[in-house]
A and B are shown apart, each in its own frame.
Chain A
Amino acid sequence: MAWRYLRFRWLVSLLTIAGIALGVALVCAVLAIREESERALSRDAALYDLVAGGKGSPLQLVLASVYHLDSPTGNIPYADYERLRRDPRVRWAAPIGLGDNYEGFRIVGTEEQFFDLPDREGEPFFRLARGTAFEDRFEVVLGSQVAIATGLDVGDTFFGTHGLVDVPGGEVHRDFPYRVSGVLEGTGTAQDRAIFGTLASVWEIHETEDRLHSAIQGTASLGGRKKREATAVLVRLETPGLRLWMADEIRERTDGIAAIPINEILRFQRGIIGPVQRSLLAIAAAVVAVACLTVLTTLHQAAERRRRDIAILRSLGAVRAEVAALVFTEGLLLTGAGIGLGLLLGHGGLALAAGPIRDATGLVLDPWRMPRAEAIALCVMAFCGAAASLFPAVSSYRRTPIADLRLTD
């Protein structure tokens, strides 16, 4: 009966469900994005214990070298990397050199031990989906997303473009074709959006370009060889407990800085993303509150309009509890449908947004995962809906049928 009454007032029912669904979808989306982005950011940050780089902002250094997002802070001498590699407290270290991109995907110059990075269980983090790691100086290995987005595969060649972002008219290094030697399996991290080549190729391209520019400008002699540098050095320590100690040492003994990725990202999340998310959550909570009030108003109005119908049911022998249960069931159906639709909208929207978010930031979100906070929020909303349904139900329970039958005499 409750369902039939909702169907009879389909427009009001639909609008009420839409109101609840909107609030629920907003709450779901905000909480899921927060949880998933934290998870994804932490997953990336946890890959390395330390990042050493040129002087500048530690966060910028982490964003540039771990997430392939920001500009690097500057270079550090390659010798610093060699010193770090020999340190017995360092389990794994790899230099990276940035400078070029292909269709917006950064070309990360590094060395072959980069692919030996172990995950936290000691297993290799990078696995080749096909092909081999680079052997020749101008061979590259593609991250999984790069292969999908660019259509490049093993054996294909391409030219890098100067700069870290793809801008129209960028300087293409046509003298230095890259050849794809392998494609990595997806890792669910920002590494899927990078092209890994040799550090030697980065040096060669840019030294040649520099010599050429200097020759054109007549400011330097050809054949001058610069001191080797790296954009950053990625470090995995024997134990994470050494992070602070090592970071201090690097700051003291080199001209650069050392950042602990997980600390920088947590600070970033709490300092910048957190307040934005809290504002969104407050808005979502307000929407849900309005939606619950809508349920209350709708059911109250419905019960008022149906006072005669409820009185008829009573005159037919329905007891107070039965008519109250009918009104309450209507409220629960509206709330349930709203929450169900909201869940679908929230997570469906996230599923649609996951691709663009991954392409733009490298964050791989699992749109259908329900964080604990979301489950709690849904329970709270269900409780509010049930509470909102209770008022008109109690009102129906209390009414006597005789007045509402509008009998005369």
Chain B
Amino acid sequence: MIRLRDVSLRLSQANRSPSVQFRLPAFDVEAGEAVALTGPSGCGKTTLLNLIAGLLRADSGDVVVAGVELSGLSSARLDRHRGAHCGMVYQTFQLLAPFTAVENVAIGLRFGARQRGSLKDRAAEALRRVGLADRLHARPDQMSVGERQRVAIARALAGGAPLLLADEPTGSLDPDTGREVFALLREVAEEDGRTLLMVTHDLGFAAELPRAFDCTGLVRSVGATSETGGRVA
């Protein structure tokens, strides 16, 4: 499902110092795998996730997602590839404030993979699946943070994307809600056979997933002597 080789990226675009660089010799994830991305803040976990999502482009190396080499895609095709293959879940939910839960999910479907059925029906179905059947028409500001994250998960699921990319999905939630959201993500990924990549600082969650990838050392100053790359833990 995911294959990265000799990837390097100068991180000037992300307001980093131009001398800071992301380097990853190799990273592979099989279809249906669930992998935790761990490591201290600033080590490159989110950068790795964004490279896989096509939100960042590598300066060199290969990034292959769902059989497609991303570096060769135009901006528009990269966006479409992301919409079709990647369901994104963020720490800060990233919902659109003017729209209801069902509309937020439906908007995601509009740009995502093409499937049969009306957008709103499919959005409502996804929301029912994450336990929000009675909150379809609530706006984000009318929902609890846990509900908002469920909407974000429903949005990631609804399009049928084979890859779920979750960037600290429990980071803004209290421990109980965080546990529920984590369980939900695992459950839907397993049920559907989707690949799950989850950035987390919570070592407990990381330990519960079959595999964790320690991102420590992926981001470093150019010219540093010890370049160890990512490690599989």
B is bound to A: yes
Asked if A315 and B53 make an inter-chain contact with CB atoms under 8 angstroms apart, the answer reads yes
- Does A266 touch B at the CB level, under 8 Å? no
Asked if A8 and B97 make an inter-chain contact with CB atoms under 8 angstroms apart, the answer reads yes
Number of interface residues of A (CB under 8 A): 27
With A315-B53, A317-B112 known as contacts, the answer to whether A406 contacts B96 (CB < 8 A) is no
- Does A43 touch B at the CB level, under 8 Å? no
For the complex, would chain A's binding face be called helix, strand, loop or mixed by DSSP majority? helix
A318 cross-chain contacts in B, Cβ below 8 A: 79, 83, 110-111
Asked if B111 and A313 make an inter-chain contact with CB atoms under 8 angstroms apart, the answer reads yes
- A406 CA to B92 CA, complexed, in Å: 9
B199 cross-chain contacts in A, Cβ below 8 A: 409
For the complex, would chain B's binding face be called helix, strand, loop or mixed by DSSP majority? mixed
Which of A336-344, A351-359, A396-404 interfaces with chain B? A396-404
Asked if A403 and B14 make an inter-chain contact with CB atoms under 8 angstroms apart, the answer reads yes
Asked if B41 and A312 make an inter-chain contact with CB atoms under 8 angstroms apart, the answer reads no
- Does B13 touch A at the CB level, under 8 Å? yes
* Chain B 41-52: CB-based contact to A (< 8 A → 1; otherwise 0): 111111100100
| Nearest chain B CB to A197 CB, angstrom units | 70
B88 cross-chain contacts in A, Cβ below 8 A: 315-316
- A409 CA to B14 CA, complexed, in Å: 10
Asked if B112 and A409 make an inter-chain contact with CB atoms under 8 angstroms apart, the answer reads no
| Nearest chain A CB to B1 CB, angstrom units | 18
Asked if B46 and A408 make an inter-chain contact with CB atoms under 8 angstroms apart, the answer reads yes
Asked if B90 and A405 make an inter-chain contact with CB atoms under 8 angstroms apart, the answer reads yes
- Does B56 touch A at the CB level, under 8 Å? yes
B233 cross-chain contacts in A, Cβ below 8 A: none
- A313 CA to B83 CA, complexed, in Å: 10
- Does B232 touch A at the CB level, under 8 Å? no
- A8 CA to B99 CA, complexed, in Å: 9
| Nearest chain B CB to A111 CB, angstrom units | 75
Asked if A316 and B108 make an inter-chain contact with CB atoms under 8 angstroms apart, the answer reads yes
| Nearest chain B CB to A7 CB, angstrom units | 7
Asked if A409 and B79 make an inter-chain contact with CB atoms under 8 angstroms apart, the answer reads no
Asked if A308 and B79 make an inter-chain contact with CB atoms under 8 angstroms apart, the answer reads no
| Nearest chain A CB to B215 CB, angstrom units | 8
Asked if B53 and A316 make an inter-chain contact with CB atoms under 8 angstroms apart, the answer reads no
The one of B44, B76, B94, B99 that contacts A315, using a Cβ cutoff of 8 Å = B94
A401 cross-chain contacts in B, Cβ below 8 A: 55
* Chain B 87-107: CB-based contact to A (< 8 A → 1; otherwise 0): 010111011111100010001
- Does B5 touch A at the CB level, under 8 Å? no
Asked if A402 and B112 make an inter-chain contact with CB atoms under 8 angstroms apart, the answer reads no
- Does B80 touch A at the CB level, under 8 Å? yes
Chain B positions within 8 Å of A, measured between CB atoms, are 13-15, 41-47, 50, 53, 55-56, 75-76, 79-80, 82-84, 88, 90-92, 94-99, 103, 107-108, 110-112, 155, 167, 199
| 21 chain-A/chain-B pairs, Cβ below 8 angstroms | A8-B97, A309-B96, A309-B97, A312-B96, A313-B111, A314-B55, A317-B84, A319-B75, A400-B13, A402-B55, A403-B13, A405-B55, A405-B90, A407-B46, A407-B90, A407-B167, A408-B42, A408-B46, A408-B91, A409-B45, A409-B46
Known: A405-B90, A406-B92. 17 other contacts (CB 8 A): A4-B98, A4-B103, A8-B98, A309-B96, A312-B94, A316-B82, A316-B107, A317-B79, A317-B83, A319-B76, A322-B111, A402-B56, A405-B94, A407-B46, A408-B41, A408-B42, A409-B199
